[in-house]
């Protein structure tokens, strides 16, 4: 990770750690950098944003930087991260920019840069952007006269993305009562029209963004809102997205949460049965539940693990040609259809599996037993010092030995926050709490914990 860019772009509190000057400089660099690859010096870059109040400010700053360097900026306006990835590939943009802090609170924001192939941008380009921001790479010339770029409306790109999603469904959703939690985010402008077009009886909550209510006690990180909604309205299924709709967490007909691991099991098993799962392999991250792995093995499926981040999941999938991968948090990638996690697309694939199988989601997901899991974010002053501390490492090894094959412990530094995450899976909640507490207590006794 760099000084500004983490595992998911340049993220921070708006106008505190990520300000308008940063956004302007990112635009200046990208407009110039990609312009060098064209004879006329003119790059073509598409921008999308979520519903945060600061997203409009950053959109203007990025656009100003791009056109000042001679690039043309195409504005998708409020849209999802996967729609930006789709449009980049569809219309041969040099790159795409998504203004979003995903599942974070409204006062945070971020700049995600998507390559011309629809993937997260290469780290080497992020390093060059950082060098420019810090004044280590010299000045970039301003475009003049007819070389100054233009800002153009590109809402048609979002409409084409909606059409693409609708085209993926091979079965009607008629008579299915589907609940959607839009998290007061990007999916508010897209999701309902997709499900309506496919014939569903669509019931929507948290689709009235006001700039400050994105992810506020709703969406994929606060699934209880959708769980209650599904039960109260006797719905067949529910789907919750995060702020930029690259995640999806489902709720079955009984109001039970169906997270990313369970979605990968349900869809992976169906794909294997129909010869659609390359090498019968699912790509996961180290955060996936041990219960998923046991269920995959039982069904004759293999799995691979990557570090946390859908970027790394897709890199593995792309290198090996795998069809399905994702994260417990709901970033699910169906490589036949997309290059990134896509919450709405994931919903469609779950519906396809359910309808084709003629079974409820509750029935399908019940085959995979998810082990109790506890994740604690320990706030620390120095993440590296924690990971290298001998007593912390010894406590982790002791826990691994005692858990054996019926559980696991994972300790890792966050890529975006000053915390170390301690995660334990075991046969019971009490065991999870015991080992998480033991390791966290060693961190505290070593003087590594703050607050």
Would you please indicate which residues are annotated as catalytic (active-site) residues? 102
Cα 241–chain centre separation: 10
Task: Return d(Cα 138, Cα 104) in angstroms, integer.
Answer: 34
Helix axes 260-273, 290-298, angle to 10 degrees: 10
Task: State phi, psi for 193 to the nearest 5 degrees.
Answer: -65, -30
Structure tokens given for 407: 């559980």
Whole-angstrom Cα distance, residue 207 to residue 214? 9
- Is 102 labelled a binding residue? yes
Tokens of 397: 């090894």
Pair 297, 272: CB distance under 8 Å: no
Query: Is 217 annotated as a binding-site member?
Result: no
Contact between residue 378 and residue 385 where contact means Cβ atoms under 8 Å apart: no
Structure tokens given for 422: 């301690």
Mapping DSSP onto H, E and C, the string for 393-425 reads HHHHHHHHHHHHHHCEEEEEECCCCCEEEEEEE
Nearest of 105, 99, 106 to residue 77 by alpha carbon: 99
The distance between the two most distant Cα atoms of the chain, rounded to a whole number of Å, is 70
Q: At what angle do helices 260-273 and 343-357 cross, to 10 degrees?
A: 50
Residue 146 annotated as binding site: no
CA distance 307 to 329: 13
Q: How far is CA 68 from CA 27, 42, 236, 440, in A?
A: 8, 11, 51, 50
Annotated binding residue at 244? yes
Instruction: Tell me the β-bridge partners of 46.
Output: 74, 96
Look at the alpha carbons of 105, 106, 111, 112 in this order and tell me if their dihedral is positive or negative.
Answer: positive
Measured in whole angstroms, how far is the alpha carbon of residue 32 from the centre of its chain?
28
E-strand ranges in 257-407 read 257-258, 281-285, 302-306, 324-326, 332-334, 373-379
Instruction: Indicate the annotated binding residues for Mg(2+).
Output: 102, 242, 244, 246
Instruction: Indicate the annotated binding residues.
Output: 102, 242, 244, 246
């Amino acid at each position: 990770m760099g000084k500004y860019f983490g595992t998911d772009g340049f993220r921070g509190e708006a106008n505190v750690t990520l300000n308008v000057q940063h956004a302007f400089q990112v635009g200046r660099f990208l407009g110039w950098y990609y312009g060098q690859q064209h004879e006329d010096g003119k790059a073509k870059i598409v921008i999308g944003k979520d519903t945060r109040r600061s997203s409009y400010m950053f959109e203007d700053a990025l656009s100003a930087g791009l056109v000042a360097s001679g690039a043309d900026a195409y504005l998708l306006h409020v849209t999802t991260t996967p729609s930006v990835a789709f449009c980049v590939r569809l219309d041969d943009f040099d790159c795409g920019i998504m203004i979003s802090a995903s599942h974070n609170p409204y006062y945070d924001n971020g700049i995600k840069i998507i390559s011309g192939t629809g993937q997260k941008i290469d780290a080497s380009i992020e390093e060059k952007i950082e060098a420019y921001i810090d004044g280590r790479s010299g000045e970039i010339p301003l475009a003049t006269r007819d070389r100054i770029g233009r800002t153009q409306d590109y809402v048609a790109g979002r409409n084409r993305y909606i059409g693409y999603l609708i085209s993926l469904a091979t079965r009607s959703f008629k008579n299915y009562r589907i609940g959607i939690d839009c998290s007061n985010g990007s999916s508010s402008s897209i999701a309902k029209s997709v499900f309506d077009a496919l014939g569903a009886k669509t019931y929507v909550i948290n689709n009235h963004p006001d700039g400050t209510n994105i992810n506020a006690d709703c969406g994929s990180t606060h699934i209880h809102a959708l769980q209650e909604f599904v039960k109260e309205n006797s719905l067949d299924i529910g789907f919750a997205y995060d702020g930029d709709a690259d995640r999806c967490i489902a709720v079955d007909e009984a109001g039970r949460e169906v997270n990313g691991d369970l979605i990968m099991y349900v869809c992976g098993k169906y794909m294997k049965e129909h010869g659609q799962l390359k090498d019968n392999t699912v790509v996961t991250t180290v955060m996936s539940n041990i219960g998923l792995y046991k269920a995959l093995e039982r069904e004759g499926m293999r799995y691979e693990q990557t570090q946390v981040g859908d970027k790394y999941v897709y890199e593995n999938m792309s290198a090996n040609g795998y069809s399905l991968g994702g994260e417990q948090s709901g970033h699910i990638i169906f490589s036949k259809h997309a290059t990134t996690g896509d919450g709405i697309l994931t919903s469609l694939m779950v519906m396809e599996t359910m309808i084709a199988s003629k079974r409820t989601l509750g029935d399908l997901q019940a085959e995979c037993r998810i082990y109790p899991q506890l994740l604690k974010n320990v706030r620390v002053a120095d993440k590296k010092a924690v990971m290298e501390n001998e007593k912390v490492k010894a406590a982790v090894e002791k826990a691994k030995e005692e858990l054996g094959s019926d559980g696991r412990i994972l300790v890792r530094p966050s890529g975006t926050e000053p915390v170390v995450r301690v995660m334990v899976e075991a046969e019971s909640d009490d065991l999870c709490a015991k080992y998480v507490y033991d390791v966290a207590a060693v961190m505290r006794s070593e003087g590594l914990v703050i607050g």
